[in-house]
Chain A
Amino acid sequence: MQLTIITDLNKCVGCKSCQVSCKEHNTTGVMGPVPDMDPYRDPDGMWWNRIVTMESGEYPNTSVLYLPKACMHCYDAPCVPVCPTGSSFKREDNGVVLVDYDTCVGCQLCLWACPYGVREFDENAGVVKKCTMCIDRIEDETLLPEQRQPACVQSCPTHARTFGDLDDPESEVSRLVAERQGFGLLPELGARPAVHYLPRRPSPSPVVPETLSDLLEERY
């Protein structure tokens, strides 16, 4: 089993509700591992899920992308074998990559080994922390089955995120990845991320400056 989150980049509108709900869930409750020492004056504190907004292309052929970026829970997670104490580990039963805070020595080598820059160092506790895929929620049997999913998936207003088992060919996430050609980030680094993104649909034909005025006249 490999639990994963699939994000449809066509549906994501960059509202950051997943970013905020991640912070909200993980700073409260019993665990509360995300430190938030000075939330009103220091907004660059720890975030396990960040929405990167990237613009690409040149006018008039430009495009804006909202990319929710958290731990990719890679099949070949590079952060796991580099850890000298074994505190970074990948669970065999569900594929989630976790950190054992009790044995983490705080050397931060896993921060460098992670190709996606999604691990964060907690200066107060002296340990590295990261997205847990809300393992406390998905294994909480007191919750209703439909509620056993990560906070970022539950809070998405456009249902851009789907949670499931990527190793199960019958699952929704497997179907989406197969049918919509889901892709992982930075595949050239060989980490084999479990988290996939569904690509943007093809944009209309490129507009070149020579035909721009004709097109505008035609449209308006």
Chain B
Amino acid sequence: MRPPWPLLLLTLLQGMAGGMAVTAALLPSPLPTAVVDGMLGIALIGAVASIFHMHRLQAALYVLRRLSTSWLSREVLTTGLFVAAIAVWTLIANIVGHTPEVVPSLTALLGVTAMFVTAMVYASIPAMRSWHGPLTVVAMMSTGLVSGAMVLDAVLTSIRAPVPLHTLGGILVGSSLCLTGFKALQARHFRTARDGNHAETGTGLPFGPYRLQDTGTTRPPYRTQTQVSAPMAPATRQILYLGQWLFLSLIPAGSFFWALSAPRAALFGAAAMVAGSFFERWLFFADATHSSRVWFDDQPKKVSRVAAGRSST
């Protein structure tokens, strides 16, 4: 599908702010006020970006109508509460100075809730075969938590805060490796979704291969439908997934070990992590398979794995 930039920014920055809030709640000492301000900035940019995805703002007053069924409705509520909590935290830090412990904890809780609900918006759509399932939630939340923690670590290291987070380096590197594993599983799930989208049940014709002769108008995919785009070339896909792995896992993990001797390297690792997260989220949208693709593409005939003497797994 075509990656919608407002959603890409919203999911990424909301996750990053959530990861920062969770990490901050785990720290023994309070965050410097400037860092809390920065966290609010990140969350606000994400929230403002999401507004650009709506095309009729005058109807926005109805978006909480379907809290009982719509994850998007719940996302508006939970993300709003999360941004409001960071705003309250910022106000207390700037005006009062001393922040009660309950504020970071509550903000972290709201952050995790918002991240979960946002991930469920995508994981709960059966027609989006690549996204449908718990892996989307796990991978999206992990990306947010790890990227937020790494960014906070880099910021605290660069301003020489009293409790630099890289003392928790083992945990961060471990989380990063877990994220790599989740992303590998998700890549496999994307491939299964791509290969498992058959035209048999979409046409009622039992024998492949299926060749699309006419989509009903002249040019597929349709301009007004964002869920389907031209398929990615396999070589391009491989390069993009390799780049994602490099920026999301290898460089951040390597720079973390480097930061043990040269603390400034944490900034380099965090920058790579942010770039990797953008990469990851862009691929999440661009490589997703929608069920309606069966009416947009030719489908090659698949040879029998049994006849070809290959493993069935």
**A positions within 8 Å CB-CB of B:** 9, 14, 16, 19, 43-47, 50-58, 61, 63-65, 67, 69, 78, 80-87, 102-109, 111-123, 125-127, 183, 185-191, 197, 199-200
For A105, what are the chain B residues with a Cβ–Cβ distance below 8 Å?
Answer: 54-57, 59-60, 62-63
A-B contact pairs, 16 of them (CB 8 A): A43-B219, A46-B224, A50-B217, A52-B216, A61-B207, A67-B203, A78-B126, A78-B127, A84-B70, A106-B54, A114-B292, A115-B127, A117-B290, A120-B224, A123-B224, A185-B201
Q: Is the CB of A54 within 8 A of B201?
A: no
- Tell me the nearest residue of chain B to A185, going by C-beta: B202
**B15-23, B225-233, B243-251 - the one binding chain A:** B225-233
Measured CA separation A127–B209 after assembly (Å):
37
Measured CA separation A120–B227 after assembly (Å):
11
Q: Is the CB of B213 within 8 A of A54?
A: yes
**B positions within 8 Å CB-CB of A:** 1, 53-57, 59-60, 62-66, 69-73, 76, 121, 124-128, 199, 201-205, 207-219, 222-228, 290-292, 294-296, 301
- State which of B207, B215, B291 has its C-beta within 8 Å of the C-beta of A52: B215
- State which of A14, A19, A55, A186 has its C-beta within 8 Å of the C-beta of B201: A186
Measured CA separation A104–B72 after assembly (Å):
13
- State which of A47, A54, A56, A63 has its C-beta within 8 Å of the C-beta of B217: A47
Q: Is the CB of B214 within 8 A of A103?
A: no
Q: Is the CB of A85 within 8 A of B208?
A: no
Among B57, B212, B290, B292, max chain A CB count under 10 A is at B292
Q: How far is the CB of B272 from chain A (nearest CB, A)?
A: 31
Q: Is the CB of A117 within 8 A of B224?
A: no
Q: Is the CB of A189 within 8 A of B70?
A: no
Q: Is the CB of B53 within 8 A of A107?
A: yes
- Tell me the nearest residue of chain A to B76, going by C-beta: A84
Q: Is the CB of A51 within 8 A of B291?
A: no
Q: How far is the CB of B119 from chain A (nearest CB, A)?
A: 14
For B128, what are the chain A residues with a Cβ–Cβ distance below 8 Å?
Answer: 112
Q: Is the CB of B65 within 8 A of A84?
A: yes
Q: Is the CB of B211 within 8 A of A56?
A: yes
Q: Is the CB of A53 within 8 A of B59?
A: no
Q: How far is the CB of B202 from chain A (nearest CB, A)?
A: 6
- Tell me the nearest residue of chain B to A127, going by C-beta: B56
For A199, what are the chain B residues with a Cβ–Cβ distance below 8 Å?
Answer: 204
Measured CA separation A78–B65 after assembly (Å):
17
